[in-house]
Amino acid sequence: MEYRPSADWTSTLDLFYSKDKQEDTANQFEVNLGDYNGGYGRINITGAQVDSNGTFIGGVAHNLYPLVRGMYDKRNDKIDAFGWKNEFKLDSLSVTADVSYSKAKRDELLLENNTQLVPAPQLDSLTLAYSGSGFSQLKPGLSYSDPSKLFLRNTIYGSGYGKVPKVNDELKGVRLGATLPVNSFISDIDFGFNYADREKDKHQPEGNINVGTQGDTAIAPDLQYGLVDLGFAGVGPIPSWNVPGAVARYMTFSPNENAPYLVAKAWTVSEKLTTAYVKGDIDSEWGSIPVRGNVGVQIQHTDQSSTSNIYDHTQPAGHEIQPYSDGKTYTDVLPSMNLAFSLTDEQTLRVALAKQVARPRVDQMRSSIDFGVDTATGKPGASGGNPRLDPWRANALDISWEKYFESKAYVAAAFFYKDLTSYIYTQTRDGHDFSSLIKGYVPPAGSPPALPTGTFSAPFNGQGGSLKGVELSASLPMSLFMQALDGFGVVASASFNDSSIKIKDPDSASSVGDGPITLPGLSKRVYNVTAYYEHDGFEARISQRRRSDFIGEIGNFAASRVLRYVVGENITDAQVSYAFGPGSSLSGLSLLLQASNLTDSSYRTYATTKDRPLENIKWGRTILFGANYKF
């Protein structure tokens, strides 16, 4: 909503409200190959196949007691936001005042319950064949398709488990800025300040879902959805059912956040950022070369803190849960320069220099930790978050050259280099100061007193290293080469990236190894290409994007982030659209048909090498039809 009481004052109010509910049900067939089946004897493997990498890739596993699991996830999200912007003209001075507020809230319910064939134990033999490209095969000898023979019962993973995460994220902001024209080498000067106050809190009560007083039981037909076919993985059909209905009818669930392993999952993080800035716009000539761009500096002050409870194993029974808070303040001075040199009417050289910062993830700055003292040595230890994290910091250089042909065609080459002076990854450090947490610690009889320093596993800052890359791009209408191909064209880009930084992640050693790894999210090669045809309102496009393997950060069922190798994607999309022209009775109407992931490419992860697959997920194709009408 815009209000303009005069030519010198414009006031704009933006309001936003969003509410979303999502429910997902999933079903799994699961078996433990770690030589434990609930105490019914040892697991035996015959016909074992091992590849040259020492990886088990197939065989027959005997004496197993599989389970069929139902999983349920209900998520309610709500976002409230508003922004009020006022623009004033005071002679030659332009002033902007902006106030904003947003709050995101998420309430989630995650449930699982487990069934097994009865009477116990119904031991099975499974034929295993692992695949690094397609779906691995898991072929049981028994049938798991009859829901009347599958009972909710206490398996090796219990009869069920549930979580009730709740997240609130609130952001308040104020911005005051002004622009002053200058008749010199600097054409305009922008200056002002921003203030942002963010607070995020998370609670995650959890608990076992136990079979009720009726004991082990089948799930009634009125709660059954029918069979789902896992034949793509060799399992065959298994039942699916109303998981929350089964929990309510047959089971008990009392989530809490006071158990020793749950206390550290609740926390509050606060960030207050105050930024003052000044920027000069350049529109001039250096000799005979036109130059556009800007030069400026930001001074950013950060005040970050976190409060939580910690489970202190050194305290007497009943007093282990203790309040804890920590944080830090720091200031960054961030100069920047962006210049564009018009070498000719068709060629531009761009140069950018800057000091850059990127904030840590909020959950990395939580103060919640799990703390204890080794009674045999007196050495303290903990794991959790780190409210004293510095941001990612880099000295950045970007250079690009662009060559234009007519109105739509260009070729470009760009180089970037970032000298990372600070980055963030999970580390295990010895010598961490725990003196504030061992105050009042009384060692058990015969145990040594607590040492002031010990081992801490948490996100920490690394220092030193570079990230660099080259990007080549082009937009080429085919009419440049042959007029008969008017309307056809290609847009393409290729990026080649490298980093000298190597990190370790002890929490993900089972999937990425315990040695040095590259920065998460970094692909060595990324390619994008689009072929199109445009004529008289008709447009057709087909696009492909490819990237090489990379290390991804994946959320697991424990609501924790772990690192895994991700197979590089190869995705093809297409769309066709038509816009009715001014001479049509449907002028203003546009129709769009869009298809994503035409080849049904899968998402795959693996542990260290591709012959050790972890996930293979097919999301399928997405077809969208849209219409847009302009008045």
State the Cα–Cα distance between residues 76 and 74, nearest whole angstrom: 7
Is residue 302 within 8 Å of residue 271, measured between CB atoms? yes
Mean pLDDT by 10 residues, the chain (631 residues): 92 97 94 88 91 89 95 97 95 94 97 95 94 89 96 94 96 96 87 97 96 96 96 95 97 94 94 97 90 96 96 83 93 97 93 97 93 91 93 97 89 97 91 86 88 93 92 93 91 96 86 89 96 94 96 76 91 95 88 94 91 89 93 79
367 closest CA partner among 323, 412, 320: 323
- How far is CA 413 from each of CA 348, 468, 498, 565, rounded to the nearest angstrom? 11, 14, 17, 30
pLDDT, position 286: 87
pLDDT, position 557: 61
Is residue 241 within 8 Å of residue 218, measured between CB atoms? no
221 closest CA partner among 120, 115, 119, 146: 146
Is residue 267 within 8 Å of residue 366, measured between CB atoms? yes
What does the H/E/C string look like for 547-592? ECCEEEEEECCCCCEEEEEECCCEEEEEEEEEECCCCCCCCCEEEE
pLDDT, position 408: 79
pLDDT, position 482: 87
- What's the predicted TM-score (pTM) here? 0.87
Looking at the DSSP assignment, which residues form a beta bridge with residue 298? 277, 334
Structure letter (DSSP) for residue 155: B
Locus of tokens 């990498």: 53
State the Cα–Cα distance between residues 628 and 485, nearest whole angstrom: 29
Structure letter (DSSP) for residue 523: -
167 closest CA partner among 362, 328, 375: 362
